[in-house]
């Protein structure tokens, strides 16, 4: 049985104020801090808004940060209001984009929504949350309503957004529907009478629009709490459209491996934003890393275990770590891998990699061979023109993480 190596020991955390934890953990911006803290300590039940546009079918750990913050508010007894942006997803939020987003069809949005609420329910207590769809009120707006709403904003305000300003200066297209998006998100706050809106720092313009829309309609402006952006596997903001994501429903082994492949600079931010490790322990580990008392690889193993355990349980985390260590530290084969049937005839290694589906093209196969990333029957292949005679059970390794066993027909 595979056994993982022990995780680095961390000191126990001291007692903390739950409200301070909500206001501080992974938080970058609060508007208005004094008012929000006063309301949280008043004992009044607040309506906490979080909108999620289903622009893709899966939720990644970066998007999960605000969901985890919502769960913290729920534990304090506040009302979670989750807005599934089935209407706004069709427009597309330009907050983190340097080019115009394609307009999604209603059918695409519906397909993306198929498992959305189930995924959200892995983090938020769905039974105690209000789950609403913003098409319910946005579809009912008339042109007159939209014109009146637009009158509260100016084109100059919209162009103060950094990405819009850059596109404007570069002479690139800015669709009018993009300018309407903040108004629609702001109207969501009015429709559900939000006391607090959650989001990432890229949402600052949109959530401030919510405060403005509420004030225009004589509703108390919501306070806002924005979390920091989580970097993806390539160092950019984690984004489904960029493919640099760790999804909450990735398999345990895949999830663990992705985390281990992330840069060392993600360890502390991921621990703070994406796990339940007490902040005191996170700060202690941060100090140990800076002083060289803990190796980044061991700290990253601790991080990977925490995230896998959150979404898959302790047994899955143990297995994922043991599997990682067997493959990448002991240079063994994974305990389970796909089997591919090939003909019992001599074949060039490049063609074998295509036949097994491990390489998308001959050029990619040659590149990985030349980089020393291909092994067949535990022997490295360094000649792109080499041939091999397949046999049953032969192990083919492509790159760091792709393994198949051959079955000869």
pLDDT, residue 255, reads 94
Query: Alpha-carbon dihedral of residues 134, 137, 139, 145, nearest 10 degrees?
Result: -130
Residue 229, token pair as written in the block: 């952006």
pLDDT, residue 42, reads 92
Residue 254 has pLDDT above 50, yes or no: yes
pLDDT, residue 98, reads 52
pLDDT, residue 316, reads 94
Residue 179 has pLDDT above 60, yes or no: yes
Provide CATH 3.10.290.10 ranges for the chain. 339-408
Residue 184, token pair as written in the block: 């629609």
pLDDT, residue 353, reads 84
Q: Is domain 27-227 annotated with CATH 3.40.50.620?
A: yes
Provide CATH 3.40.50.620 ranges for the chain. 27-227
pLDDT, residue 38, reads 95
pLDDT, residue 94, reads 59
CA 165 to chain CA centroid, Å, is 27
Provide CATH 1.10.240.10 ranges for the chain. 1-12+230-332
* Percent share of the chain, pLDDT over 70: 92
pLDDT, residue 1, reads 30
Question: Are the C-beta atoms of 87 and 141 separated by less than 8 Å?
Answer: no
Structure pTM? 0.77
* pLDDT tens-digit readout, 149-167: 999 998 888 888 777 888 8
Tell me which residue has tokens 């056994």: 3
* pLDDT tens-digit readout, 59-81: 999 999 999 999 999 999 999 99
Question: Are the C-beta atoms of 239 and 232 separated by less than 8 Å?
Answer: yes
- Determine the topology of domain 1-12+230-332 in CATH: Tyrosyl-Transfer RNA Synthetase (1.10.240)
pLDDT, residue 100, reads 52
* pLDDT tens-digit readout, 5-24: 444 343 333 334 889 999 99
In three-state secondary structure terms, 52 is: strand
Question: Are the C-beta atoms of 84 and 116 separated by less than 8 Å?
Answer: yes
Residue 205 has pLDDT above 60, yes or no: yes
* 159-188 residues labelled b (16+ CB within 10 A) or e (exposed): eebebbeebeeeeeebeeebbbbbbbbbbb
pLDDT, residue 7, reads 41
pLDDT, residue 291, reads 95
- Determine the topology of domain 339-408 in CATH: 3.10.290
Residue 4 has pLDDT above 50, yes or no: no
Per the model's pLDDT, the better-predicted residue between 104 and 310 turns out to be 310
Averaged pLDDT for residues 220-245: 91
Per the model's pLDDT, the better-predicted residue between 97 and 207 turns out to be 207
pLDDT, residue 378, reads 76
Per the model's pLDDT, the better-predicted residue between 348 and 6 turns out to be 348
Of the candidates 61, 38, 39, which has an alpha carbon nearest to the alpha carbon of residue 48? 39
User: Among 135-144, 171-180, 255-264, 309-318, which stretch is predicted with the lowest mean pLDDT?
Assistant: 171-180
Q: What is the DSSP string of 337-402?
A: --EEEE-SS-EEHHHHHHHTTS-SSHHHHHHHHHTT-EEETTEE---TT-EE---TT-EEEETTTE
* Rounded alpha-carbon distances, angstroms, from residue 273 to 70, 87, 374: 13, 28, 37
């Amino acid at each position: 049985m595979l056994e993982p190596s022990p995780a680095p020991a961390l000191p126990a955390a001291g007692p903390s104020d739950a409200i301070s934890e909500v206001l501080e953990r992974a938080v970058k911006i609060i508007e208005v801090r004094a008012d929000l803290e006063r309301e949280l300590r008043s004992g009044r039940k607040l309506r906490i808004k979080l909108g999620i546009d289903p622009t893709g079918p899966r939720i990644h750990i970066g998007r999960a940060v605000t969901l985890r913050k919502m769960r913290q508010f729920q534990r304090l007894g506040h009302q979670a209001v989750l807005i599934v942006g089935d209407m706004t997803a069709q427009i597309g939020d330009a907050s983190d984009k340097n080019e115009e987003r394609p307009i999604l069809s209603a059918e695409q949005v519906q397909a993306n929504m198929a498992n959305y609420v189930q995924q959200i329910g892995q983090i938020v207590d769905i039974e105690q949350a209000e789950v609403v769809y913003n098409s319910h009120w946005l579809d009912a707006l008339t042109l007159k309503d939209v014109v009146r709403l637009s009158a509260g904003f100016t084109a100059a305000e919209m162009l103060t957004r950094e990405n819009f300003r850059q596109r404007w200066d570069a002479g690139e297209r800015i669709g009018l529907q993009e300018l309407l998006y903040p108004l629609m998100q702001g109207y969501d706050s009015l429709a559900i009478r939000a006391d607090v809106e959650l989001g990432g720092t890229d949402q600052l313009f949109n959530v401030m629009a919510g405060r403005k829309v509420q004030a225009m309609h004589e509703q108390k402006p919501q306070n806002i709490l924005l979390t920091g952006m989580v970097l993806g596997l390539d160092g950019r903001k984690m984004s489904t459209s960029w493919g640099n994501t760790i999804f909450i429903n990735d398999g345990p082994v895949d999830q663990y491996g992705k985390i281990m492949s992330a840069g060392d600079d993600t360890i502390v931010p991921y621990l703070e934003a994406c796990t339940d490790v007490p902040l005191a322990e996170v700060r202690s580990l941060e100090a140990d890393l800076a002083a060289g008392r803990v190796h980044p690889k061991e700290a990253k193993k601790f991080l990977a275990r925490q995230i896998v355990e959150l979404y898959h349980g302790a047994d899955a985390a143990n297995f994922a770590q043991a599997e990682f260590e067997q493959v990448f530290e002991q240079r063994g084969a994974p305990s389970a891998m796909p089997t591919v049937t090939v003909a019992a005839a001599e074949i060039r290694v490049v063609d074998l990699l295509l036949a097994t589906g491990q390489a998308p093209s001959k050029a990619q196969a040659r590149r990985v061979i030349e980089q020393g990333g291909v092994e067949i029957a535990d022997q490295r292949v360094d000649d792109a023109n080499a041939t091999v005679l397949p046999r049953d059970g032969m192990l083919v390794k492509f790159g760091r993480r792709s393994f198949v066993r051959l079955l000869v027909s």
